A and B are shown apart, each in its own frame.
Chain A
């Protein structure tokens, strides 16, 4: 129960951050792809800079979790085609709807109900990937 409350709380912080920083705003994503504002680059850049420090500190100092276990951070599958081709497909959808998979939930909560359509078709898209996986280049 305690852990569930922790995950829920982290989700709330994430949702508040996506709205307050406007990273979930369609206009901000459009502006980013036009290279007309530093805002989104500042958000992603500062998050990754701090993220590198956090992640490397965990690995170097073998830090332990809140629950006393050594933290393990899995590596991504060493592929080239899949992240490139899949990344391009996601980028097309990101720039069209302005939404990443996280902000979809945030925006539905915020009352932008057309995102429900995006969510349903995103689930369908993931399903189609699962069906076609063996026939795609990875």
Chain B
């Protein structure tokens, strides 16, 4: 098994995320990716009309550098650290997704239904991606964090609001996954 080209099992991936948390804390920063969305709003001048964005966003530029690094890491891993294989997806899930019209589970990294470049010419896919993006941006800021800020940083710091947020993530996620998504597709 080669860790360089094959997908990582959970017991490599989870500790690698903990290393990211460790490095950021020892670099005097906090792991939380959703605040970049607020920074981008503030950078674009949203602070002129809305006080929520009226702050010195320059002190959060470091996090945009992390996001840029993340994109470069994604490019590198997807192009040069792969033999094309993906981890096994549960067989029931594969069958269920095929029935919903979403193919490729266990064969490719991402479903072409949403994420092939052709998907951009499908108005329905565009609408679903736009809706999902809006919910992510609105929800993470309302909640005060996302999977990194609440689920990793916040739970690690034994924060009750983070536990509440993670419960919320799952309430919303289960509603979408089991009831709403099958109607939208």
**Which residues of A are in contact with B by a Cβ distance under 8 Å?**
3-4, 6-31, 33-34, 36-52, 54-56, 58, 63, 65-67, 69, 71, 73-80, 82-102, 104-115, 117-131, 133, 136
Contact = CB atoms under 8 A, between A and B. Distances in A.
B157 interface: yes
Nearest to B175: A92
A136 B148 CA distance: 24
B143 A87 contact: yes
Given A25-B109, A75-B157, A126-B141, A43 B13 contact: yes
Nearest to A69: B28
Contacts of A115: 115, 129
A94 B110 contact: no
Given A36-B92, A80-B164, A92-B176, A12 B18 contact: no
Given A33-B173, A89-B143, 6 more contacts: A36-B92, A73-B157, A84-B167, A93-B132, A96-B132, A128-B137
A26 B89 CA distance: 11
Contacts of A85: 142-143, 168
Interface string B144-185: 111110111111111111101111111111111110110010
Contacts of B144: 76-77, 79, 82-83, 86
Given A31-B89, A121-B129, A89 B142 contact: yes
Contacts of A29: 173
Main DSSP-derived SS at the B contact region: helix
Contacts of B18: 46-47, 50-51, 54
Contacts of B70: 11-12, 14-15, 18, 102, 105-106, 109
A78 B160 contact: yes
Given A16-B81, A65-B26, A102-B33, A112 B110 contact: yes
Given A12-B76, A15-B69, A92 B172 contact: yes
A123 B177 contact: no
A112 B45 CA distance: 28
Contact of B133 (A20, A93, A95): A93
A122 B134 contact: yes
Contact of A54 (B22, B65, B104, B109): B22
B25 A111 contact: no
A84 B164 contact: yes
Contacts of A136: 142
